[in-house]
Structure 1
Amino acid sequence: MLILNKQTRAKRHLDNLTFIPQAVEKVDFLTSSTEFKQHILALIKQAKFRIYLTALYFEKDEAGQEILDALYQAKLANPQLEIKILVDWHRAQRGRIGEATQSSNADWYTQMREQYALPTEQEIAFYGVPVNKREIFGVLHLKGFVFDDTLLYSGASINNVYLQQFERYRYDRYHQIENKALADSWVNFIQQNILSNPAVNRLDQANRPKTIGIRPLVKAFRKELSQQEYRFNGQSMDNEQLMLSPLVGLGRKNPLNKTIEALFFQVQQKLTICTPYFNFPRSINQRIEWLLENGKQIEIIVGDKTANDFFTPPEEKFTMASALPYLYEKNLRAFTKKFDHYIQNGQLTIRLWKDGKNSYHLKGVWIDERYILLTGNNLNPRAWKLDAENAVLISDPKGELSEKAQGELAQIRTHTTVLTHYSDLEELKDYPEKVKKLLKKFGRVKLDKIVKMLL
């Protein structure tokens, strides 16, 4: 009876979502990081009236410089073009984890603003969005680049590996959707709920406020942001046409989390999940178990530990973050051991992605050929409770995007191997000595559980 009630509530939740009709031919599935970069540059050049970029970070490196130069060239060619870039407040003012900090991304934004010296009303504006008082307790994980009436959506940020500036790449999903109502809802959300808030400040100014000085504002901003949603003139889900629903979530039991959980109860035949960090929230684990018990097919595509962006080769400097890929593999081994019966009977397929020294950053959910979720949400406890996340839910009742979606999944599977047994995975005794020592210490003081909640 309890499950029946949950199923009923899940169906009701989806029925209550508001959707936007979408033309099939105006949805493109991009296949690679290089294609993603090409589309960014092309869309910058084509933009006539607005560019709004939202990402975790916009890195000071060769790829970042190329994109920023393209933005400035577009601005010089069309001074009325509105360009606003939103990144995480904390991340922009520090270096990468484990690396010595020289000058920050925010310092670079300031240098570029001073170098181009545009009139104040024509400046390209970089904004820092503080989702919590400390980075570890929440970051800006909202995604989406708006160019006029086009949304380019990916979990990727702007840097050398995400855009494959050189040989290495970080693999993500990339989708281009032309839809004025969708693009307007994205921009309106940013303008009304983020840029208008006093906790959000320009990063490209030398006199940036100190975080400690805006902490009360940040606390209030987080609470306000957690109560907001994308607003647009939409309609209920129609079983006769392709439709989109933009979603946003921050904090426990937010609408995005509820939608993802509700989608799991819609599976008729098969659920497919991509996640870079194998660390599902309890509610997702429970739904996976329920689906397996009810005879459904599940495919999970996860990165090999060496394809994790925190992975450190043995010859490089070891940091605490270097242990994370091993912690995720430990989770995966426990999961596959628990559900080994379903692996053996063919119901559960787990694929490990690995392609040389490249890394894996994919996330998303496919429900049969009926629903597709585009999201930057890592489907982990951190995404569920701490970070600001968003998504686009695609309702495809007639399977009009089925061929493109299956093509995307086939591409994702290219560099994967199927786990046949939990013993295919390494365990603690196989790990480098420094990793073993740290994981044992985590286990002794129960710190592994805290780490899993935060990272």
Structure 2
Amino acid sequence: MRLLKSASDFTYLTGIPLQAESVRTLHTAAEYRSELLAKIASAKHRIYLCSLYLQDDEAGAEILQALYAAKAARPALDIAVLIDWHRAQRGLIGAGKSGGNAAWYQAISKANHYAVALYGIPVQTRELFGVLHLKGFVIDDEVIYSGASLNNVYLHKQDKYRHDRYLLIHNKALANCMVQFIREHLLSSAAVHRLDVPEIPATRSIRREIKQFREKLKRARYDCHVPDAEISPHQLSVTPLVGVGKNNPLNKVICQLLAASKKQIIICTPYFNFPLAVTREINRALKRGVHISIIVGDKTANDFFIPPEQPFKVIAALPYLYEVNLRRFAKAHQAEIASQQLQLHLWKDADNSFHLKGLWIDQHYALMTGNNLNPRAFRLDLENALLIHDPQLQLLAQRQQELHCIMENTRQVRHYRELEKLADYPDPVRKLLSRLSRTRLDRLAYRVL
């Protein structure tokens, strides 16, 4: 697999050939949950699930029970669930101390005859400095890709949902490539341990293995063996990308995509906090005359938002911190906003939340990713993406329909003053952000949250 040589010569990024009829985009979390459960129930050979977490709630139980049922029906089925090591062993933010989801995995395992392996992947020795943010499920030869984790809100099991992107690709070469990466670079590591069994090692006892694991991950790549004879620059294709740490290949491709744009860039991100490299490419694109649309969640649609009438928690300041960033950006680019060259769209749908990420470049490239396009994603977490190249616009109708569904719940910001400022925020938020700004701790927060 070859990456592009330069931003001005983008044809060198090649991948796995696709048939347009093998690609399907879903538009709702409920539809995604139904599809995922149906695929698990009909699996014949393998199920590999990568997610930040599999939560001990109704939706999480539904998924885990489906996996055990599939294993009982077909004992030879190869099942592996990969979740973040640290996230699985703690309770929810703000909740009391607990054994986390791992204790639940062990209880479910003990009650079942057949084993479903759940692996904890420790990307760093501490959760604050890096987690498993790898996305993508492989069920037989189907790749199901979304930024969503596995719990009630991501799967719309109850009243509220967290809106994400949902892509299905039926392609054996892509499925094999993603499974090979998991086996070769993740499951083979001495730092990786099962969470569904008793006697899980303490993190401090495997610190050396974790550090060695992270160093190896920096060199890990998807290795998709596609004969050159099958590759044409004029056909629909998909390239899987992966990266962890500064200047990794995924980061470079994201910046190269932005740099290669000629007419249009569309960006989705739930947390408005671009890395400096992304901000630089956006500014350069605006100077080139490229039209840019940025879709971001309203602060009330952020998954960390807590209504002012509820007890304040420090984590609840994050949505406001991102809005401060967005207002600053909008103020700096008010001229481009006024001319409509730059369009900012805020997503909000009642009390639901927004978790979409990705890029669309000049109609020919679409990046499906769990990468939040923020400094944490660019430096700390293990991230991946699927880059679709569509030179003949075979998937244009699907992309337009997906964007239409996203934009239905947005409003356009036509002036930076439409966004609230620090003085408008609830007192606890205003005081905390003022204190952070005085001590410059807000800069640290932008880097790790």
- TM class by smaller structure: over 0.9
TM-score (normalizing by structure 1): 0.96
Task: After TM superposition, give the deviation of residue 239 of structure 1 in Å.
Answer: 2.9
Q: Please, which of 162, 167, 178 is the counterpart of residue 175 of structure 1?
A: 167
* Residues paired across the two proteins, number: 444
Native 8 Å contact 1:344 1:420 kept in 2:
yes
Q: Which residue of 2 aligns with 1:288?
A: 282
Native 8 Å contact 2:369 2:386 kept in 1:
yes
2: CA distance, partners of 1:357 / 1:283: 33
Q: Which residue of 1 aligns with 2:69?
A: 73
Q: Which residue of 2 aligns with 1:412?
A: 406
Letter in 2 for 1:155: G
Q: Which residue of 2 aligns with 1:9?
A: 6
**1:134 is the counterpart of 2:126:** yes
Q: Which runs of 5+ in 2 are unaligned?
A: none
**1:9 is paired with a residue of what secondary structure?**
coil
Q: Which residue of 2 aligns with 1:213?
A: 205
**1:147 is the counterpart of 2:144:** no
Q: Please, which of 319, 322, 338 is the counterpart of residue 316 of structure 2?
A: 322
Q: Please, which of 190, 209, 229 is the counterpart of residue 198 of structure 1?
A: 190
2: CA distance, partners of 1:166 / 1:36: 14
Map Cα deviations across residues 319-378 of structure 1 (whole Å, 9 max, x no partner).
211100000000000000000000001100000000111000000000021000000000
Native 8 Å contact 1:127 1:201 kept in 2:
yes
Task: After TM superposition, give the deviation of residue 103 of structure 1 in Å.
Answer: 3.8
Task: After TM superposition, give the deviation of residue 117 of structure 1 in Å.
Answer: 2.8
2: CA distance, partners of 1:404 / 1:15: 23
Letter in 1 for 2:213: F
Task: After TM superposition, give the deviation of residue 114 of structure 1 in Å.
Answer: 0.3
**CA, structure 1 residues 443+235, in 2 after alignment: closer, same or farther (shift >3 Å)?**
farther
What is the 5 A alignment of 1:347-386? 347-386=341-380
Native 8 Å contact 1:18 1:234 kept in 2:
no
Map Cα deviations across residues 84-107 of structure 1 (whole Å, 9 max, x no partner).
000000000001111123341000
Native 8 Å contact 2:375 2:447 kept in 1:
yes
1: CA distance, partners of 2:258 / 2:117: 40
Letter in 1 for 2:388: I
**1:10 is paired with a residue of what secondary structure?**
coil
Q: Which residue of 1 aligns with 2:303?
A: 309
Percent identity, aligned pairs only, is 50
What is the 5 A alignment of 1:11-50? 11=8, 14-50=10-46
Task: After TM superposition, give the deviation of residue 9 of structure 1 in Å.
Answer: 2.4
**1:239 is paired with a residue of what secondary structure?**
coil
Native 8 Å contact 1:18 1:235 kept in 2:
no
Native 8 Å contact 1:20 1:235 kept in 2:
no
Map Cα deviations across residues 148-183 of structure 1 (whole Å, 9 max, x no partner).
000000000000000000110000000000000100
- CA RMSD across the alignment: 1.2
2: CA distance, partners of 1:218 / 1:31: 37
**1:425 is the counterpart of 2:426:** no
Q: Which residue of 2 aligns with 1:333?
A: 327
Task: After TM superposition, give the deviation of residue 11 of structure 1 in Å.
Answer: 4.0
Q: Which runs of 5+ in 1 are unaligned?
A: 1-6
Q: Which residue of 2 aligns with 1:157?
A: 149
TM-score (normalizing by structure 2): 0.97
Q: Please, which of 173, 186, 191 is the counterpart of residue 178 of structure 2?
A: 186
Native 8 Å contact 2:5 2:12 kept in 1:
no
**1:403 is the counterpart of 2:394:** no
Map Cα deviations across residues 110-168 of structure 1 (whole Å, 9 max, x no partner).
001100032xxxx2100000000100000000000100000000000000000000110
Letter in 2 for 1:55: S
**1:229 is the counterpart of 2:225:** no
Q: Which residue of 1 aligns with 2:429?
A: 435
Q: Which residue of 2 aligns with 1:3?
A: none
**2:267 is paired with a residue of what secondary structure?**
strand
Letter in 2 for 1:38: S
